[in-house]
Structure 1
Amino acid sequence: MFDSLSIRLKIVLLSGLCLLGVVGLIVGMNIYQTNQNDQLVSASSTRMLTASVEDLLQAKAAEQAVRVQKTFGESLLVVTALADQIADLRRLAGQRALDSGALREELNQSLKSAFERNTGALGIWLAFEPNGLDGQDQGFVNDAARLSNEAGRFASYWSRAGGTGQNTIMTEEDMTKTTLNLSGTPYNSWYTCPRDSKRTCLLDPYADTVAGKEMLMTSISVPLLVNGKAIGVVGIDISLDALQAAALNAQRDLFNGAGHMLIVSGSGVLAGNSVDASKLGKNLAEALGNDGKDVLQLINANSAKILQQGDLIRAVLPVSPIADSKPWGW
């Protein structure tokens, strides 16, 4: 049939077929190019969005780290000032031949005043080495009125764990107990760390019974030094409730509550968890599983980094809560 058509009609038909092929090719190329452009735009948008999220996470982590550092810094200032005051009282007592009983009463009054002024503190305490205060422990055995324990050591603890201020005496068992706590360090590290190292210590979160109530806390403790020798320790306890409140506040500000925040000690103990408060005091691995190993490795290396873990983006920011302490992570 095609052979019977005129040459002109054949040319028209062939031209039409060629034009149709060209149009089809152009349309196909346009569709392909459009798809490629869409993929490029999508990938670029994803990268831009991811970068924005990472920048915001880093900024929020840094912001919260500053807030928590402020909490620790204020506590350190309290306990350092108290240590100076205790040293002054002890020196004046020696110069003026102040009665040992009166000295102990004055020391406890100073503790009480510091405790009442700093309502955010869970507890404030002071304990001396055997005969470290004035060499007169033998005259104050079980002297509750002067906050001296069964060995005569001045060992006073002011706490508000029960809701109101309570003054108790720390026993010899309290200061010699070596049962391992949550982080694997001895229970009495709050006393032995500053005494033995002769420097300020920040403890990993630990559990303790205060005024009959089990509390999760951390402590900053400062050695009392005389001629390079530690004669006692003064410290302040900080409830993990304060750090948990910081984590919850951070979550509310982060992507309208869609993000979450963890506060982790250098040993991997959770001090704040905006998602699950029941994990406080537990190891990071219990909250993050295997992902926690990468996070803890960065904290111990003091290395800030963005981690992509599955569908999650984590900003890890190690910060030393007080000078010369091991870094914690936010």
Structure 2
Amino acid sequence: MFRNLKLRTKFLASMGLVVLLSFSLVIFILSIKSFDLAKTSAYQIAEETANKNGNYVRAELEVSMDTVRTLSYTFQEMKLSHDINRETINKILIDVLKDNPQFVATWTLWEPNALDGKDAEFINKPGYDKTGRFIPYWSKQNGEFQLEPLVNYDTRGTGDYYLIPKESKRETIIEPYVYPIAGKDVLMASAVVPIIVDGNFVGVVGIDIALDTIQKVISEMRPLETGYVSLISNKGKYVAHKDIFQIGKVVEDNRAKEAINSGESYTTTNKGVYEIYVPINIGRTTTPWSMEVGVPLGIILEKADSIRDFAIIIGVIGLIIIGLTIYLVANTITNQHLLLEMNERRRIEEKALRLASIVETTDDGIIGMTLNGIIIDWNRGAEYIYGYSEVEVIGESIIKLIPDEKRLEHDEILSKIPQGMPMTHYETIRQRKDGQYIHVYLTVSPIKDHSGEIIGASTIVRDVTAQRKLEKEMIRMDQMTLVAEMAASIGHEVRNPMTTVRGFLQLLGERKNSAKYSDYIPLMISELDRANDIITEFLSISRTKTTELARQNLNDIIKCILPLVQVEATNDEKSINLELNRIPDLLLDHKEIRQVILNLARNGLESMGKGGCIVIKTSFADNEVILAVIDEGEGINPEIMDRLGTPFLTTKEKGTGLGLAVCFGIAARHNAKVIAETSPQGSTFFMKFKL
């Protein structure tokens, strides 16, 4: 019978059968996948609920921990400065309680006589017990601040809020406990930080948080409508639960309890309920809590079954539609026009793939974004230039790549895109993921849809940072060449006459009738010596200077020149410290390296006030010997950081601007490099020698 059918009918029957079998298989697979996805989705909802509510609890406890950590630092500084008294500390505790209504109480407990040595004067006074120790406990009751002395602090269990941080000397979240406040038992947890002075434990400071607010929030949560949420402490006690009678009881599942105690996630199925435990890490404590979410499996499977049934129904409808479609379009499949259209589509697809390959493999960054600056496309070139992966930036604002001082410039560029105005070959500054600023060329163009409407912008980025650095270095080298030529001329034409003048001035100073010039001749000789020093610095920069290299140790050179630097430091009431680590020998010119150390140390001394300290340090890392000179000055103006080492650049009143230029020149002759880092607390100059 099949043989007698027309060719077109055979074609239709064959295609229909293949499509029917294929689509049936797809429907079956999709229904299975949909079922699995529904279950996975439910599990994810449970996990997301745990994470979300865990973040809420963490935030509540972190506020307390941050506050109490600040109090600990404050009391440490007061103790170290010997500017501490009980009244001031009480006022601080009251102010913190006043500014944070979510806190139940603030308190501190000091070791005997550790505060001010006056415990005996306060025995049995208000807020004190028979020991006289400083143990104030401030709480707010009926709008008034109440002072009570801490109790049971030496008793294991009820006194854990003091004993645990004393023994561990670490930040601690105390397990939930009941504490009497104004005659009423209150369930609470405490955030406690030890007070350490000169390495010694002198007391603790803490903040109490009532757990009733957290209990109220958590008891009302219903993931997937019938689930529940619980908060569990590090030792497995329920802190918050839908059933208030469970609060304070211990989790029955020992494996769950172990996971909670070690800060690990844990999932299990218990009595028809899917349970997930997610750790909550608080501050710098080592006792994480856990958020438990439970969802009945019946609810999960019910939703999964519903999705599977829906997928089957849609599949059957799809089969019917496809069957009709096959019948309607069968007459046109062999049409030449359709074949041409298919060929054209294939050609377009190949072209699109080719262009996509070019975009992905180019070194230039190509970024697509909406008119609001939201990144929607990100190629490998952009990933290499900025350091962000595609996952990290898709959906984020382009603003994260732009330094603050360039935001207005970006807004101006973006405002022109809806008008169809591109920006080509525009040089500016952008910021990498690691915070480094880079020089880039930008070409920003509008993106249009099929109707010609502008729907976004594309940016082509080229990193020219290395090119700009090379240009700056070439300018500096040109300046160095000019200085070298000047040095050669000055050394020959000026130095010799100056030496003659100095000699005659010394002879005049030795004559008997020169007494009336005694105040002037030394001054003139001093100024000639200063001019001679400047000429010497000129000559040090010259490229033609012969460098006499010999294998020696940088530490030995530093020790050799140390007395000279220490004399200058002592005269200015400053100091020099050495941190010399074991380093390999290098090929060095002894005199030139002495000059580098002397120049850098003098610059550091001149940048500091009295009492300042210079640290000269050596180290070996990444196959480099590193010399570091660290000062405690006010730092270098950021505007001149890129120009350091340029001849005649100086910020000193009597400086020549040649000292650092000499250092850069010597570094170049030793195949080394000079790097500067600065901040308002001081500057560090590194000289790095490659082995």
Normalised by the length of structure 2, the TM-score is: 0.37
Is 1:283 equivalent to 2:250 in the alignment? yes
Equivalent in 145, 154, 165 of residue 176 of structure 1: 154
Corresponding position of 2:560: none
CA distance in 2, matches of 1:176, 1:189: 8
Amino acid at match of 1:215: V
Q: Which moved more, 1:43-52 or 1:209-218?
A: 43-52
1:158-208 deviations in whole A, cap 9, x for unaligned?
12367753211224xx21122xxxxxxx22110011112111111111122
CA distance in 2, matches of 1:53, 1:82: 43
Secondary structure in 2 matching 1:255: coil
Secondary structure in 1 matching 2:121: helix
1:220-270 deviations in whole A, cap 9, x for unaligned?
111111111111110011111132134135x14x223x2110111121111
CA distance in 2, matches of 1:110, 1:142: 23
Contact 1:122 1:161 in 2 (8 A): no
Secondary structure in 1 matching 2:178: strand
Calculate percent identity across the aligned residue pairs.
26
- 1:276 deviation in Å? 0.8
Contact 1:205 1:216 in 2 (8 A): yes
Q: Which moved more, 1:318-327 or 1:131-140?
A: 318-327
Is 1:199 equivalent to 2:188 in the alignment? no
Corresponding position of 2:254: 293
Secondary structure in 2 matching 1:216: strand
Distance 1:284 1:109, change over 3 A: same
**Unpaired stretches in structure 1, ≥5 consecutive residues:** 1-33, 179-185, 286-291
Equivalent in 47, 70, 79 of residue 90 of structure 1: 79
CA RMSD, 1 decimal: 2.5
CA distance in 2, matches of 1:159, 1:138: 25
Contact 1:266 1:329 in 2 (8 A): yes
Count of residues paired in the alignment: 268
Contact 1:54 1:306 in 2 (8 A): no
Is 1:260 equivalent to 2:221 in the alignment? no
Secondary structure in 2 matching 1:130: coil
CA distance in 2, matches of 1:281, 1:164: 30
1:27-51 deviations in whole A, cap 9, x for unaligned?
xxxxxxx9x9999877654422211
- Choose 1 or 2 for highest CA Rg: 2
Distance 1:299 1:163, change over 3 A: farther
Corresponding position of 1:15: none
Corresponding position of 2:238: 270
Is 1:235 equivalent to 2:217 in the alignment? no
Contact 2:256 2:266 in 1 (8 A): no
Distance 1:218 1:45, change over 3 A: same
Contact 2:264 2:278 in 1 (8 A): yes
Residues 18-167 of structure 1 mapped to structure 2, 5 A cutoff? 44-92=33-81, 94=82, 103-144=85-126, 147-160=127-140, 164-167=144-147
CA distance in 2, matches of 1:62, 1:267: 20
1:252-303 deviations in whole A, cap 9, x for unaligned?
4x223x2110111121111111x21222122223xxxxxx334223323433
CA distance in 1, matches of 2:138, 2:41: 47
Secondary structure in 2 matching 1:199: coil
Corresponding position of 1:306: 267
Corresponding position of 1:245: 216
CA distance in 1, matches of 2:271, 2:38: 17
- 1:312 deviation in Å? 1.1
CA distance in 2, matches of 1:259, 1:160: 36
Contact 2:55 2:280 in 1 (8 A): no
Contact 1:264 1:271 in 2 (8 A): yes
Amino acid at match of 2:60: T
Contact 2:171 2:284 in 1 (8 A): no
CA distance in 2, matches of 1:196, 1:314: 35
Amino acid at match of 2:251: L
CA distance in 2, matches of 1:303, 1:51: 21
Corresponding position of 1:12: none
Contact 1:126 1:157 in 2 (8 A): yes
CA distance in 2, matches of 1:237, 1:299: 23
Amino acid at match of 1:51: T
CA distance in 2, matches of 1:305, 1:192: 31
CA distance in 2, matches of 1:161, 1:188: 23
CA distance in 1, matches of 2:229, 2:141: 26
CA distance in 2, matches of 1:70, 1:255: 24
Equivalent in 249, 258, 278 of residue 317 of structure 1: 278
Contact 1:194 1:221 in 2 (8 A): yes
- 1:115 deviation in Å? 1.0
**Unpaired stretches in structure 2, ≥5 consecutive residues:** 1-23, 292-691
Distance 1:272 1:126, change over 3 A: same
Amino acid at match of 1:154: F
- 1:110 deviation in Å? 1.0
CA distance in 1, matches of 2:263, 2:204: 29
Distance 1:276 1:38, change over 3 A: farther
CA distance in 1, matches of 2:214, 2:244: 11
Contact 1:302 1:318 in 2 (8 A): yes
CA distance in 2, matches of 1:190, 1:238: 13
Corresponding position of 1:27: none
